[in-house]
Amino acid sequence: MKSCKSNNADSGLESDMQCKSGTGCIMKCGSERMESAAKRRLAANARERRRMQGLNTAFDRLRKVVPQWGQDKKLSKYETLQMALSYIMALTRILAEAERYSTERDWINLHCEHFHQESYHTYMGQKMATDSDPYAQRIFSFQPEHFQIAN
């Protein structure tokens, strides 16, 4: 994978080199400097790799809590962010709506009417048959468009 760019990590370093060891040390000091620059570059690469791995771990954790219908293909990073945005907005709407109703029961009745014992089982039976259904349809009465990727 790797970039085929030439390694110029040491570029610009020679000019500021002040060698105090007299003639013959230029090559030695130069190569030492190059060596040290190369080491620093490698260390920086490793840090960057770890940083990106941490970022990817965070993306994986985000993917786990964000709705994702169809488990066959994981969301890309961009899609994950857009989905998280939509999801948060949808949850915010739910909270705002809940505040409009005086009691929790009123709110639950509003959203969960179709979750009566019988229809619930029928519903779940149907849903289990098709795993491509939006996660959103399983919670309360939200429609898929509420979780479409935001633009």
Partner DNA sequence: TAGGCCATCTGGTCCT
Partner DNA sequence: AGGACCAGATGGCCTA
- Residue the block writes with tokens 């939200």: 142
| Least distance between DNA and beta carbon 144 (Å) | 20
Smaller CB separation from DNA, 41 or 111: 41
The answer to whether 147 and 134 have CB atoms below 8 angstroms apart is: yes
Residue 79 near DNA by CB under 7 A = yes
| Least distance between DNA and beta carbon 112 (Å) | 35
**DSSP H/E element including 44:** helix 25-65
Give the separation between CA 23 and CA 69, rounded to whole angstroms: 70
Residue 109 near DNA by CB under 7 A = no
| Least distance between DNA and beta carbon 85 (Å) | 16
Residue 132 near DNA by CB under 7 A = no
Residue 57 near DNA by CB under 7 A = no
Residue 126 near DNA by CB under 7 A = no
| Least distance between DNA and beta carbon 87 (Å) | 18
- Direct distance between the N- and C-terminal alpha carbons of the chain, in angstroms, rounded to an integer: 32
Give the separation between CA 73 and CA 50, rounded to whole angstroms: 25
